[in-house]
Structure 1
Amino acid sequence: MKTTLRGLAPSLLVALVGAALLRITVGSDVFLQYVKEGLRLPLIGSGFVLVGLGIAGVVRRLTKRRREPVMRFGRDAEGNAVWHRPADHDAHGHGHDHDHGPRVAWLLTIPAVLLLCLAPPPLGSFSASRDGADAVVEQTGYAPLAASPATGASGATDPWVGVVTPMSLTEFIGRSRNPERSLEGRKVRLTGFVSPGTQPGEWYLNRLVVSCCAADARRLRVLVHADDPAPATDSWVDLTGTWRPAPDAPATAAPRIDASEQHAVPQPRAPYRDLPPSDR
């Protein structure tokens, strides 16, 4: 029985990994904490293939086991005729190979079981605080931002009073570095998760974006100046504020925003997609 279980280990492991993939993709958005949304169908297909291969391996092994004779005739070292069980022969004749390989293989069940039973959170403040992990925001032309619908663009000294523009962090960072200074005097609304700042009254609003999976995550971040205490690290926040120009800051420095309002919000469905707050 022990030998049979060792022989089934590789097939059971393959099926377990496939089941874990199906658990986080079919009827669930858990996979979005690890990879981008476009990989859902390939992951579902891989899950079904792995489950099928694992079941086929178990069936093949059990069928082969059932066809083996219960007892086998042979001779011992002294030439005497003896009957022995094939399982006993395999265990003594090939014990070294079977003892070590499957035991190592079973260690690979740990990540699969974690995916089946638990949902590890997406990357957060630890990844966002690493140096050299910034996403590249390309310089581009931006369309003019909308003026206040109450006054119009031509009938008021400040046509932007009362206008709050939802914006992705990518656009906010790009506009902050654009020579047109389209953010000047504008009130914007951003969403991200919190990481600590280096000075009192400062903290960072972050998003992580991926090309494929969490392993290639890159950081987008904005330095927040606020009178209110900083929210809890790794909590998600909906923030309203005004861009603070910093002419002397290095070109690669995080843009700054003076926060006027901040509200805790749930983690977005797709944490690695940098969307404006209204589109979450």
Structure 2
Amino acid sequence: MKATVRGLAGLAPSLLVALVGAALLRITVGSDVFLQYVKEGLRLPLIASGLVLVGLGIAGVVGRLTEKRREPVMRFGRDAEGNAVWLRPTGHDTDSAGDHGHGHDHDHGPRVAWLLTVPAALLLCLTPPPLGSFSANRDGTDAVVEQAGYTQLAAQPAPATPGAPASVSLPTPMSLTEFIGRSHDPQKSLEGRPVRLTGFVTAGAQPGEWYLNRLVVSCCAADARRLRVLVHATGPTPATDSWVDLTGVWHPTPGTSTTAAPRIDVAERHAVPQPRAPYRDVPPSDG
């Protein structure tokens, strides 16, 4: 019985490798779940890694089973001193007695590797959410927005409708990166221009204000950095971590720090689903 248990335990490291590989394939092949953990460009490397791990795991299981089939059948008995030991057939008894019943199976591997079973099992069975308000509320995680030579925003006239004022223009879809950059533009290219922004909600310090956020990554969720805009709006604050699409106008706030979140006065907002790639800061689309 003990030999059987040891034999099954010998398969565990290879099964663990295959489990990790299967988890990688589950979140990348035919799924966008991986975008909640890493940037989009890592899909192919993750697929390749998953295939390699599954292959190594299967090869390890096959090799272990083949090795077990070639081993001589052991029997239970006693050595010359009367100690109970597992004995190999004639020609192997001396070695087995010296091993005191352990069967020469000491290949347990580092025990810390078993911690991999937790994230692998979670990825196979569940879909943990992307980073949200907890990460966005941490101090010192602001993304650096480099200044650029912004051009003036061209007005986008709304489609002509009977009775509508001719001066009405559509808001300009804009990423939070561009909005924050333009808020520091000496030419004040945002002034008076309606814009559309999309992000997730975190609570503000004062009634009637909250933050619109995006998290951007260089590689994976571990290096996420925050982009945030201070929102002033009437009505109840949307639920924390909910995604919203809002339309508003930049509100200049002279004398504030250049690291402070720029302010927008909101005229309209509505809830939207979480985007496919939550860590990619892009302008909102009509789709």
Structure-to-structure mapping, 1:86-105, within 5 angstroms: 92-93=101-102, 97=106, 101=109, 104-105=112-113
Partner of 2:267: 260
Q: CA deviation at 1:6?
A: 1.1
* 1:146 pairs with 2:149: no
SS across alignment from 1:112: helix
Task: State the Cα distance separating 1:78 from its structure 2 match.
Answer: 2.7
Matches within 5 A, 1:10-49: 10-49=13-52
Contact 2:157 2:169 (C-alpha < 8 Å) held by counterparts:
no
**Residues of 1 paired with 2:243 and 2:265: CA distance?**
18
CA contact (8 A) 1:10 1:102 kept: no
Residues 1-280 of structure 1: matches in 2 within 5 Å? 1-71=4-74, 76-78=79-81, 84=87, 92-93=101-102, 97=106, 101=109, 104-149=112-157, 161-278=168-285
- Taking a change above 3 Å as real, the CA distance of residues 77 and 246 of structure 1, as seen in their structure-2 partners, is farther
Task: Write 1 or 2 for the structure with the bigger share of helix.
Answer: 1
Q: Secondary structure at the match of 2:246?
A: strand
Distance 2:255 2:144 in 1: 21
SS in structure 2 at match of 1:211: coil
Task: Say which SS state the counterpart of residue 152 (structure 2) adopts.
Answer: coil
Q: Which moved more, 1:14-23 or 1:3-12?
A: 3-12
In 2 relative to 1, CA 273–135 (structure 1 residues): closer, same or farther, beyond 3 Å?
A: same
Kindly tell me: are residues 83 and 35 of structure 1, through their superposed partners in 2, closer, same or farther at Cα, counting changes over 3 Å? Answer: closer
The answer to whether the 8 A contact 1:147-1:160 is kept is no
Give the distance between the partners of 1:101 and 1:147, measured in 2 at CA.
Answer: 65
So what's the TM-score if we normalise by structure 1? 0.88
Structure 1 unaligned regions, length at least 5: 152-158
Q: Distance in 1 between matches of 2:60 and 2:149?
A: 57
- In structure 1, what residue type is equivalent to 2:207? P
Identity, % of aligned positions? 78
Instruction: Report the residue type matching 2:183 in the other structure.
Output: S
The amino acid of 2:224's aligned partner reads A
The residue type equivalent to 1:121 in the other structure is P
Structure 2 Cα separation of the partners of residues 105 and 240 of structure 1: 50
Q: Distance in 2 between matches of 1:12 and 1:169?
A: 44
**In 2, are the aligned partners of 1:202 and 1:225 still within 8 Å (CA)?**
yes
Q: Distance in 1 between the 2:242 and 2:277 partners?
A: 15
Range that drifts further, 104-113 or 30-39 = 104-113
- Distance in 1, Cα, partners of 2:186 & 2:100: 76
CA RMSD between the two structures: 2.8
Counterpart amino acid of residue 58 in structure 2: I
Once the 2 structures are TM-superposed, how far is the Cα of residue 161 of structure 1 from its aligned partner? 3.9
Task: Find the aligned partners of 1:4 and 1:233 in 2 and give their Cα distance.
Answer: 51
Q: For residues 150 and 210 of structure 1, what CA distance do their matches in structure 2 show?
A: 35
Question: Contact conserved, 1:240 with 1:261, CA < 8 A, in 2?
Answer: yes
Aligned to 1:154: none
Gaps of 5+ in 2: 90-95, 160-165
TM-score, normalised via structure 2 length: 0.86
Q: Deviations over 1:41-62 (max 9, x none)?
A: 0000000000000000000000
Q: Secondary structure at the match of 2:270?
A: strand
Judging changes above 3 Å, is the alpha-carbon distance between structure 1 residues 209 and 83 closer, same or farther for their aligned structure 2 residues? closer
